[in-house]
Structures are given as structure tokens and as C-alpha cells.
Structure 1
Amino acid sequence: MSPELSRRSLLLGGGALVAGATLAAAGAAAAIDQATPEPTGRRLSAAGRTQAGVARPATPQRNALHAVFAVPDTSRLQRDLAALGSAILALLDGPSQTPNPTLPDGPGDLTVHVGLGPRPLRAIDPSLPGATPMPSFARDDAIAADRRDGDLLVALASSDAGALRPALDHLLQAVPTLVPLWAEHGFRAAGEGTVARNPLGYLDGIIVPEGQDELDENVWITSGPLAGATVCVLRRLRLDRRAFTALDVPARDGVIGRHADGRPLSGGGPRTQVDLQAKTPEGEYLVPARAHARAAHPSFTGSALMLRRGYAFDRGPDPTSGVDDAGLLFVCFARDLDAFVRTQLRLDEVDDLMTYATATASGSFLVLPGFSRTRPLGSPLFT
């Protein structure tokens, strides 16, 4: 059995945490994809087989800005996407010697990726991946109508937080008819790869698809005109951190299923798979029945692994309610929406962590295949 198959078998049968709270010429561009590691902080090409900012760079940038828009006129969508893609390439892949008033210090490791929501996808072809909206989940009552779904996602990430808003404002000049719905500026703790500490103080992103084979199996659409696309789920989760941290440490660990340093309650090191069958001498499960690590396990959900790239946010106390408007901007990528839906439905039923999370915005988007100067952004949808 190959190492890849062995690891997949282990992940799907032995305790993977799958959800948290992850070149101008087309030929040259195709070689710049998620299999190519880029050092943190280094300039990344916007062109490629897949869009940057999903699995490139391997360690997510520390800051991100996710902006969701309505598209008033879908009849001009092809032109708008092409214009937006050209603006992205000009901003990020232009000559480094040319001064850029938008980013006077250069783009650095700034990445931008673009996705379409269910409504415009249905207008193109109802059978497209992502054309079906997400269902409502438990504790979704706080989501306002203009913060559910959305037509277009523009996601920017950078080590330089100050580059995000100027870059977004510049790109929007190419598509002035877009109507802003909501946006969130998030930040990540220091980490390596996808692993970083979440707002509750626990390591997240420990088990995700790794390497080209696992990414192709779980994240990327690999064939047909949409090869290089993926489905992104975006969930803004307000977390009741005060209530969670009021628990004693063993109770917190029991809610998560791991210690704060990442070690599973079933034993082992920070990257050890959770053993859901491990028991105490008295016959009790070491990982509690309603722990997040157990509830999210794919052996129960029947779902694939998801690539997670979550960001914390903190807007301070809500002026009306006084409740802290802070938490996690959960971002994940998978080949289809079902991977997330199956997992979330189970979390709503048997995950004690959901007691501390309230969704305040939610949407799913088909992150379009990679593009270049000879292959406009979104062009596979219209051929």
C-alpha cells in the first residue's frame, strides 16, 4: 500500500479532525500550483493552474480581508470577471521595477482569489458545483439576510495588513457595479503550515489534506472545464470566549478533544491522530462523546477532508447588546459543498463546542479555476 493510501486510510478510520470551531503563458502558469512551496513573505504569482491563496502559500499569511458582494447584472458577468482577473494580474504580476501607487512597497506575498456564489452560478448552469445554496444550520438565526450567501467573493491575504484595503479598493475600480454586502478583516496567530492557535486558545488545522495527491482527492476539481476550481465555505462565527474560558482546563480540553498544545486526549503528540476507541480502565472514552474531535470525525460524517484557513476577528463589544463581537472567520475548501454540510449537520447534533459559537454571516462560493493573461478569470464557465 502506498504512503498516500496508508495515510488516507488512517485519516478516515483513525481520528482526523476535519472541521474547526482550511507566467503570462498558460503552460508556464500551470506549473505554479499548490505543489510548489513558497517561502513566507515572498512574492507569489497570481497566475497558475489554481488561484493563489487557497493552498499557496502553504503557510497562510497572517492577515486576510474577505469581501462579499452582490452582482446586480449577471448578463455582464463574463466581462466583469475578465476585467477583475486582469486587474489582479496587473497588480500582483506586473514588473517589480515599476512604482505602484496602490502598493508603493510592492505586493509582497499578497494573494487574491475570487469565487462565485449560488445565484450567479445557477444563472449560468444550475448543475455547476456550488450552485446549490447551503442549508440553514442550528444557531444561524443571527445571520441577517444580506450576510447570507452573496454573489461574489474577493479574498485577499498578506503578511502586511496595510496592503489589504488599498488593494481591494484598487481592484474594485475594474468592476464598479458590484454592491458591497459584508467584509471581515481577520488575523492569524503565528504558526507553521495550516496549524495556528484559534481564538479559544487551541491549535487548529492539525489534520488537513497534504501533498498534491490528497489536495486533488479532497480539495480540487481535477477534470473537466472547472479543473483547478474548489468550493469555499465562509462562516463568520461569534465565539463566547468568556463562557468557554470560565470552564476549568480539563472541561475545556473535553469540549475540544485535545489539550491546548494539540495532544489528543487519547494520547500521543500534537500531530497524533485522535483514537476514538481509547478508553479508561473504567471503560469510559478518553475522548468524550460530545467532544469536537469526535463529532467532526469523517468516520461519522462520511465526508472528505477539508483544507481550512481560518482567521480570528475582533470588533469589540456590540454597541447595542454589549456582547463581544469577536470570534473566528471559518474558511474551508473542498471539492464539493457536501463535505462541509455533512460535517456541520453532525456538529449541530452532538458537538458541545457549538454551544459557544453563533454564526453571524455565512456563504459558499465556487473559487474559479486558475487564470492567466491568455486565459481570463472565469472563462471556463462560458465555453
Structure 2
Amino acid sequence: MIRADDRPSRRTLLGAASAAVLTAGCSATSDQPPATPVAAQAIPPTGKYQAGITTPRTPQPNLLAIIADLPSSAVPPASAVGRLLAELGETIVALTTGTSARLLGLAPGDLTVTVGVGPRLVRMAGHTLPGATDLPPFPHEQIAPKARGGDVLLQLCATDPLVLSVAAAALLDRAGDRLQERWRQSARRGPAVPVADGLTAPRNQLGFVDGIVGPHTAEEQQRNLWLDGPAPVAGGTIAVLRRMELDLGRFAALSTAAQEAVMGRHRDSGIPLSGGVVADGPDLGAKTPDGRYVVPAGAHARRAHAAVVGVGLMLRRSYSIDEPAAGLLFVSFQNDLRTFTATLTHMGNGDALLPFTTTTASATFLIIPGFDPQRPLGSTLF
């Protein structure tokens, strides 16, 4: 969709037309065929872990999250949940490999579909399993009952936004009346900023680079991201989704220096106020000559810092949204829900960013371990 401010001006169109006329003579005598866009590389849907978390390494620019419930207030038999998940897995393979007629001729490209189950379903498999705990309420929330929690998460990501709604319709049709949608959110990643070798992070609607620090190496991911047990959940992870409205007008009214004091990083580069390079964490002990912290006490980079909170790293994915209001969809993956809850609790104690946010939807899910033809999706649990 082209926004009004993205439409080319009359001068731009005339300039483009003139350029086309000037180059037409050269093009007519050229033997070079017209350039064709490079197709997005397919992401294998099967394996030890589900796709769409660390693969691809640079997340696709478009996301559609669908949160749904099993229709009955009573917990269904585990075998019924198992059949539903297995069928969703079959559909995911057909969609991502391009063998499904439901794609309507669209190329799947780098489509990934990641499936999670909410605490109510996890408790069917075991009350003490990771993922069995609901998220508690937090400050700065205005969440309607329908937008809190949920039984099933379908996270679809792709470079081509058209593929997302088509694939989502195919998955929901396969589920039939066994799933009832609670809410959905379309979102997109902002412009990518290089962070480290082969690693980028997007800008958010506040203008800052978002999601710089995280478990990016295989060792960090094994320690902070993936569940290594118990056996039914090994190869899974815990996801948290939070939809937030941002008070862009009030934040934009601040000076650049005041905005940077809220975030703890420089807006133009993403470098911590304490210096270094963009990939660095802030030096929380650095002080000015008059004894003030260079990274202010209330800065988001300090209040949410894993070492300060005393938790592991979370793999954060922030996507910009403009419906139902300007804001972001925050998605984090971690192997311990406390990583998120303790961080947000610590932020609630003085994080300068929180007053500019209002959370309007919230849920947590156990991302099921990966699957393959011999091990259907969800079979380790149900």
C-alpha cells in the first residue's frame, strides 16, 4: 500500500519520464535483457527448531500475527490438539515449499510460519512445563479481555506481504471450526541499520535503532533462547507478544538530546551514549566530570539491561504498526519467561520510555519444537 507521503510528486514523474526518453535510444540498441527482481530465498520449514525465529538471520520485512482460541471453554482431548497441530504442520510444508494450490499462483519466497501454543494448552501436557504460566498484568496497559492471552499463535513472515494473508487464510481454513480468531496484527520492520558483521536491526517509529542487543551467536542462543528440556519441549522457546501504542507527538516534542536520554543511545547511529560502536552494550558505570551517569538512571538501555535485571538475553523483534494506532508489535523469544517478566517489572520502576507507551494486547506462547515427516508438529507434546 502506498501512503500519501510516498506518492511521487508531479515533478518526480516528469523527471522520470524525461529520463526514460533520454535513455530510450540507448536501450533500443542494447542487447541486455531487462533486469528481473531476485526471488527471496526459500526457508526450510522443518528441522530441530521451527523457522521464523533465527532463520532467516535477518527477519523478513513483513509479519502477520494471528492469535486464536480453541472454541470450547472446556479443554479438548490432547489427541484433538495433536491432530490440529499435525495438520497445520502439513499445510505449512505445502505453503512454504510452493506445492499448495491455496497459494493461488503466488511464489512463497521466504515465507515462514511459526506455531505456538498458549499456557492453557501447555498445561494439558504438564502443569510444570515451560510455557504453562500466563503473563501477569503490568503497568501502562489498556487491554481488552479478547486481546489478552490465547491458545494458538500463528506467526507468518515474508518479504512479499501478499503471501501472508493468502497463507493465513489457508491455515485457518485447514483448522476450520477448531480455531476461532481472537485478534491479528500486520506489522513491518523499519529500515535496517548494520549492527555487526551480517547483523542488522531496524529503526522504530521513534526514530531509534531497535533490538540491537540479543543472543546472536549459537552459544548465546543455546544459553538464552532454546529450551533443552524437558524432552517434550526441547528445541522450543517461549514467545511474548505485546502490541503497544506510541505517543509519537509527545516524544517528538522532546529535543534530540532529551529523546536520547530516554533511550540511552544516540538516535542517528544507535551508539550508546557511553560511546563505542552500535553493537556495544552501554557502559553503565561511565560518568560525566561532574559525577552524573552518562547513560541516565532512567534510560531504557539501563533499565532493560539484562545484567542490571539479573536475567538472560532475549531475542527481540520489534515491528512498526499503524493499525489500530501508531506503535509497535514487540515479539521476544527466550527460554525462561522470567527473562521477560523480570525485565518489564524492572522497567516499571522508572524506565523513561514507558510513559510514552500503552500496551493494548499481550500474550505468551510456547513455540513448539521443530518438526519433520517422522515427527509431526506438536507430536512431542500431544
Q: Same fold (TM over 0.5)?
A: yes
Correspondence list, 1:268-283, <5 A:
268-283=276-291
More contact order relative to length (CA 8 Å, sep ≥ 6): 1
* Counterpart selection for 1:219 from 194, 219, 225: 225
- Residue in 1 aligned with 2:56? 57
- Residue in 2 aligned with 1:375? 375
Q: Which amino acid aligns with 1:139?
A: H
How far is the alpha carbon of 1:194 from its aligned partner? 4.8
The residue matched to 2:308 in structure 1 has which SS? helix
Correspondence list, 1:180-329, <5 A:
180-191=181-192, 193-223=199-229, 224-260=231-267, 261-315=269-323, 325-329=325-329
CA contact (8 A) 2:311 2:338 kept: yes
Task: Report the Cα distance in structure 1 between the residues aligned to 2:124 and 2:70, rounded to whole angstroms.
Answer: 12
How far is the alpha carbon of 1:72 from its aligned partner? 2.3
Task: Report the Cα distance in structure 2 between the residues aligned to 1:200 and 1:94, rounded to whole angstroms.
Answer: 37
Task: Report the Cα distance in structure 1 between the residues aligned to 2:187 and 2:375, rounded to whole angstroms.
Answer: 31
How far is the alpha carbon of 1:94 from its aligned partner? 5.0
The residue matched to 2:349 in structure 1 has which SS? helix
CA contact (8 A) 1:196 1:203 kept: yes
Using the size of structure 1 for normalisation, the TM-score is 0.84
Gaps of 5+ in 2: 1-37
Identity percentage over the alignment? Answer: 44
The residue matched to 1:68 in structure 2 has which SS? strand
1:133 and 2:114 correspond: no
Gaps of 5+ in 1: 1-38, 317-324
Instruction: Describe the shift of the 1:80–1:286 C-alpha distance in structure 2 as closer, same or farther (beyond 3 A).
Output: same
- In our comparison, the structure showing a higher alpha carbon Rg is 2
Q: 1:84-103: per-residue Cα shift (whole Å, max 9, x none)?
A: 111111211355xxx84525
Q: 1:131-181: per-residue Cα shift (whole Å, max 9, x none)?
A: 1101100012x1000100111000000000111011000111221120110
CA contact (8 A) 1:130 1:231 kept: yes
The residue matched to 2:278 in structure 1 has which SS? coil
1:158 and 2:158 correspond: yes
- Residue in 2 aligned with 1:78? 82
Count of matched residue positions in the alignment of Structure 1 and Structure 2? 332
How far is the alpha carbon of 1:206 from its aligned partner? 1.1
- Residue in 2 aligned with 1:87? 91
Task: Report the Cα distance in structure 2 between the residues aligned to 1:339 and 1:355, rounded to whole angstroms.
Answer: 22
Using the size of structure 2 for normalisation, the TM-score is 0.84
CA contact (8 A) 1:240 1:356 kept: yes
Q: 1:46-78: per-residue Cα shift (whole Å, max 9, x none)?
A: 111100001100000000000000112532111
Task: Report the Cα distance in structure 1 between the residues aligned to 2:84 and 2:372, rounded to whole angstroms.
Answer: 15
- Residue in 2 aligned with 1:144? 144
Runs of 4+ in 1 over 6 A off after TM superposition: none
Q: Which amino acid aligns with 1:360?
A: T
- Residue in 1 aligned with 2:357? 357
